[in-house]
């Protein structure tokens, strides 16, 4: 089915790497001697495209531990297809171990990748991703470098089983944490859960941020069709890696680049898919960041507009009931896209070299218990809503598919936590002045405030309310939350408190009103009173006087602009052209 490059196409391609390897001067000799000293013979490498394999494998990141084998599969197929594979390691952003958040380093990885591609003699790149922030970071870096690129993921982990059911990554942990805090399970149960919780290699098996982003990479056209959902330990994953290795050599020969694939129409496809899968709220920030690297217009309002007119079809946790391996067996992304094909731009080119139409037309199977039908969806519209109001002038988001029905329209008195330390110190105190109507507010947890926008937004339900059976409350912050979390949780309040956003002015007892249907978030305090509070407000002291966290806090944009660095955005069309050194 794939379009093969014609001989004529091959002949006209001037490989970028030839500047290094074909010179007759001392630099040419030196460059060739590098390849010889790596063990490649001149007969083997001469005239071949150099394919970088950007591997985010690391022992610091369990989610990506399968990528060593994936890289080997890519390599053998690159060689078979006539390329020269050179693997390099990049930073690995492991969500579980990095503090305060892997998000702090997303832009750093994007810069590292872009500069590696710029500095070395690479003609095309295979991006090996896994855990949450790596996928957007690679797409941001690849978009800016704009060399032919294809993404391959580690794949979701097969679920562990505990007491008769499958353990859902993240989602189940939050569930059992609340039971553990209130004595609903014993210390021994908690330890047993640990044994079974993450007993497979690969990424989270729920529709958290990792799977949302790999699925969206496929929707954008940057990953081969049907490959995002293949489990990490399924041997089809290595076959997908082989196919991707073959394709990158052809992509170089065809000179098909990310900017030709990730167009406005491709982002609109991604927005449709995002809504139909009930994806992670983090994807809002990431998609905007990727689009801005290419000067593709994409706004918060686009998310709301597309959510209102796209049905939610995918029955996968936390918005649904199943897991990623069920999605894969149900037909995966091609089957999902086939079901919403009337909403997609099928003319979009993908890394297959063909239009999305070809992928969608080839679908012959869909399991309707996992991928619901277009006409009998899980929800008729929207998995996300963009809220505005005097508390969030530049917007905030809420994942509507996991919000409680009775809280979708709610007014209540604010209980404010000044920062995360304050939250941890007080949330479980028996004398906390809180009831089920309260609106929990966490501030100074944003991109500048921490810095790095950690996943602190799913504020725990206070223990004394948990014991009364309260399972959800309205929670509001300038933070993010894990894609595997759920609840009536308002996130990414922009501008954030640390730069003087209205969230900084909220006091205990102020009435806050959330109305998801109306898309509003309102602080019922007069403008005069807010002005008075604003004149008393002092920005919190920046904790970091030097180094990367300082650079980050000084240059990071707010969530409505993708939280990229201001200096990484192209200022004009001229900035989009890849400039070799």
Q: Which residues bind ligand FES (CB under 6 A)?
A: 63, 95-96, 131-132, 169, 203-204, 208, 210
Is there binding between residue 132 and Mg ion (CB under 5 A)? yes
Looking only at Cα atoms, what is the longest distance across the chain? 79
Considering only 17, 129, 169, 209, the residue that binds Mg ion (CB under 5 A) is: 209
* Residue with smaller CB distance to ligand FES, 479 or 494: 479
Is there binding between residue 485 and Mg ion (CB under 5 A)? no
Q: Read out DSSP for 80-130?
A: HTT-EEEEEE-----TTT-SS-GGGGHHHHHHHHHHHHHHTT-SEEEEEE-
* Residue with smaller CB distance to ligand FES, 131 or 139: 131
For Mg ion (CB under 5 A), the number of binding residues is 5
231 three-state secondary structure: coil
Is there binding between residue 129 and Mg ion (CB under 5 A)? no
* Residue with smaller CB distance to Mg ion, 131 or 249: 131
Considering only 94, 160, 208, 389, the residue that binds Mg ion (CB under 5 A) is: 208
Q: Residue 270 contacts by C-beta under 8 Å, 6 or more apart in sequence?
A: 216, 219, 220, 287
Q: Find which of Mg ion, ligand FES, none residue 203 binds, CB within 5 to 8 Å per kind.
A: ligand FES
| Alpha carbon 100 to chain centroid, angstroms | 17
Q: What is the smallest separation between the CB atom of 153 and ligand FES, expressed in angstroms?
A: 10
Closest by CA position to 394, among listed 475, 296, 492: 492
* Residue with smaller CB distance to ligand FES, 130 or 353: 130
Site string for Mg ion, 52-91 (x = CB under 5 A): ----------------------------------------
Q: What is the smallest separation between the CB atom of 90 and ligand FES, expressed in angstroms?
A: 16
* Tokens representing residue 145 in the block: 């470098």
Rounded Cα distance, 246 and 14, in Å: 19
Cis peptide bond N-terminal to 310, omega within 30: no
Q: What is the smallest separation between the CB atom of 169 and ligand FES, expressed in angstroms?
A: 6
Measuring CA to CA, how many Å separate 147 from each of 70, 115, 271, 527? 21, 12, 24, 51
* Residue with smaller CB distance to ligand FES, 95 or 218: 95
Q: What is the smallest separation between the CB atom of 271 and ligand FES, expressed in angstroms?
A: 22
Q: What is the smallest separation between the CB atom of 279 and Mg ion, expressed in angstroms?
A: 12
* Residue with smaller CB distance to Mg ion, 51 or 158: 158
Q: What is the smallest separation between the CB atom of 127 and ligand FES, expressed in angstroms?
A: 16
Rounded Cα distance, 558 and 420, in Å: 19
Site stretch for Mg ion (CB under 5 A), options 64-72, 151-159, 397-405, 476-484: 476-484
Considering only 129, 482, 494, 522, the residue that binds Mg ion (CB under 5 A) is: 482
294 three-state secondary structure: coil
Site stretch for Mg ion (CB under 5 A), options 18-26, 72-80, 235-243, 474-482: 474-482
Site stretch for Mg ion (CB under 5 A), options 25-33, 70-78, 441-449, 481-489: 481-489
Q: Find which of Mg ion, ligand FES, none residue 2 binds, CB within 5 to 8 Å per kind.
A: none
Site stretch for Mg ion (CB under 5 A), options 151-159, 283-291, 418-426, 477-485: 477-485
Q: What is the smallest separation between the CB atom of 61 and ligand FES, expressed in angstroms?
A: 7
With contact defined as beta carbons under 8 Å apart, do 167 and 160 qualify? yes
Q: What is the smallest separation between the CB atom of 484 and Mg ion, expressed in angstroms?
A: 6
* Residue with smaller CB distance to ligand FES, 209 or 558: 209
* Tokens representing residue 397 in the block: 């988001």
Tell me the Cα Rg of the chain.
Answer: 24
* Tokens representing residue 247 in the block: 């394709």
Measuring CA to CA, how many Å separate 58 from each of 91, 98, 514? 8, 13, 42
User: Within 13 A of 337's CA, how many CA atoms are on the CB side?
Assistant: 28
* Tokens representing residue 251 in the block: 């992509």
Which residues are 153's β-sheet partners?
Answer: 129
* Residue with smaller CB distance to Mg ion, 94 or 124: 94
Q: What is the smallest separation between the CB atom of 389 and Mg ion, expressed in angstroms?
A: 28
Q: Find which of ligand FES, Mg ion, none residue 339 binds, CB within 5 to 8 Å per kind.
A: none
Rounded Cα distance, 43 and 26, in Å: 19
* Tokens representing residue 91 in the block: 């930073």
Q: Read out DSSP for 237-259?
A: HHHHHHHHHHHHHHHHHHT--HH
Q: Find which of ligand FES, Mg ion, none residue 459 binds, CB within 5 to 8 Å per kind.
A: none
| Alpha carbon 368 to chain centroid, angstroms | 26
* Tokens representing residue 146 in the block: 């704009």
Cis peptide bond N-terminal to 389, omega within 30: no
Q: Find which of Mg ion, ligand FES, none residue 96 binds, CB within 5 to 8 Å per kind.
A: ligand FES
* Residue with smaller CB distance to ligand FES, 98 or 296: 98
Measuring CA to CA, how many Å separate 202 from each of 64, 141, 154, 219? 6, 23, 6, 21
Measuring CA to CA, how many Å separate 313 from each of 275, 333, 337, 358, 379? 9, 12, 10, 22, 7
* Residue with smaller CB distance to Mg ion, 208 or 226: 208
* Residue with smaller CB distance to ligand FES, 103 or 256: 103
Q: Find which of ligand FES, Mg ion, none residue 444 binds, CB within 5 to 8 Å per kind.
A: none
| Alpha carbon 369 to chain centroid, angstroms | 26
Q: What is the smallest separation between the CB atom of 24 and Mg ion, expressed in angstroms?
A: 52
Q: What is the smallest separation between the CB atom of 69 and ligand FES, expressed in angstroms?
A: 18
Which residues are 475's β-sheet partners?
Answer: 440, 489
* Residue with smaller CB distance to ligand FES, 56 or 359: 56
* Binding residues vs Mg ion (CB under 5 A): 95, 132, 208-209, 482
């Amino acid at each position: 089915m794939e379009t093969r490059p014609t001989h004529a196409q091959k002949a006209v391609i001037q490989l970028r790497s030839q500047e290094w390897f074909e010179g007759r001067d001392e630099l040419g000799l030196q460059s060739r001697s590098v390849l010889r000293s790596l063990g490649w013979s001149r007969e083997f490498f001469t005239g071949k495209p150099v394919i970088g394999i950007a591997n985010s494998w690391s022992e610091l990141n369990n989610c990506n531990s399968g990528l060593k084998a994936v890289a080997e599969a890519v390599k053998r197929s690159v060689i078979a297809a006539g390329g020269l594979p050179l693997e390099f390691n990049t930073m690995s952003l492991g969500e579980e171990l990095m503090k305060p958040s892997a998000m702090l380093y997303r832009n750093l990885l994007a810069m590292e990748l872009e500069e590696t591609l710029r500095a070395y003699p690479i003609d095309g790149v295979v991006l090996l991703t896994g855990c949450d922030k790596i996928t957007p970071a690679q797409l941001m870096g690849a978009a800016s470098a704009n060399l032919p690129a294809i993404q391959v993921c580690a794949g979701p982990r097969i679920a562990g089983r505990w007491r008769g059911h499958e353990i859902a990554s993240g989602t189940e942990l939050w569930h059992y944490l609340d039971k553990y805090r209130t004595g609903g399970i014993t210390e021994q149960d908690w330890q047993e859960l640990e044994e079974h919780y993450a007993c497979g290699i690969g990424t989270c098996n729920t529709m958290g941020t990792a799977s949302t982003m790999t699925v969206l990479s496929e929707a954008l056209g940057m990953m081969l069709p049907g490959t995002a959902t293949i489990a990490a330990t399924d041997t089809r994953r290595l076959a997908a890696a082989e196919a991707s290795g073959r394709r990158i050599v052809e992509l170089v020969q065809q000179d098909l680049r990310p900017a030709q694939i990730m167009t406005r129409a491709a982002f609109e496809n991604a927005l449709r898919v995002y809504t139909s899968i009930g994806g992670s709220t983090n994807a809002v920030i990431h998609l905007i960041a990727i689009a801005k690297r290419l000067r593709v217009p994409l706004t918060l309002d686009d998310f709301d507009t597309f959510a209102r007119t796209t049905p939610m079809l995918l029955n996968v946790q936390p918005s649904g009931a199943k897991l990623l391996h069920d999605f894969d067996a149900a037909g995966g992304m091609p089957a999902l896209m086939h079901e919403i094909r009337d909403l997609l731009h099928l003319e979009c080119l993908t890394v297959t070299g063909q239009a999305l139409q070809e992928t969608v037309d080839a679908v012959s199977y869909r399991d309707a218990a996992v991928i619901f039908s277009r006409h009998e969806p899980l929800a008729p519209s929207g998995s996300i809503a963009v809220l505005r109001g005097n508390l969030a002038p530049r917007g905030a988001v809420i994942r509507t598919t996991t919000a409680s029905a009775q809280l979708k329209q709610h007014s209540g008195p604010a209980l404010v936590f000044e920062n995360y330390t304050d939250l941890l110190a007080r949330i479980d105190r028996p004398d906390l002045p809180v009831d089920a109507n309260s609106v929990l507010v966490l501030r100074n947890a944003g991109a500048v405030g921490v810095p790095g926008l950690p996943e602190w937004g799913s504020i725990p339900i206070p223990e004394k309310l948990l014991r009364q059976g309260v399972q959800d409350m309205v929670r509001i912050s300038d933070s993010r939350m894990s894609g595997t979390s759920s609840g009536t949780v308002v996130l990414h309040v922009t501008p954030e408190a640390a730069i003087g956003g209205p969230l900084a002015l909220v006091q205990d007892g102020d009435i806050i009103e959330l109305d998801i249907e109306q898309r509003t978030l309102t602080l019922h305090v007069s403008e005069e009173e807010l002005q008075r509070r604003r004149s008393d407000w002092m920005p919190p002291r920046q904790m970091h006087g030097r180094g990367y966290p300082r650079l980050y806090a000084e240059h990071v944009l707010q969530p409505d602009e993708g939280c990229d660095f201001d200096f990484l955005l192209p200022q004009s069309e001229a900035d989009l052209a890849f400039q070799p050194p």
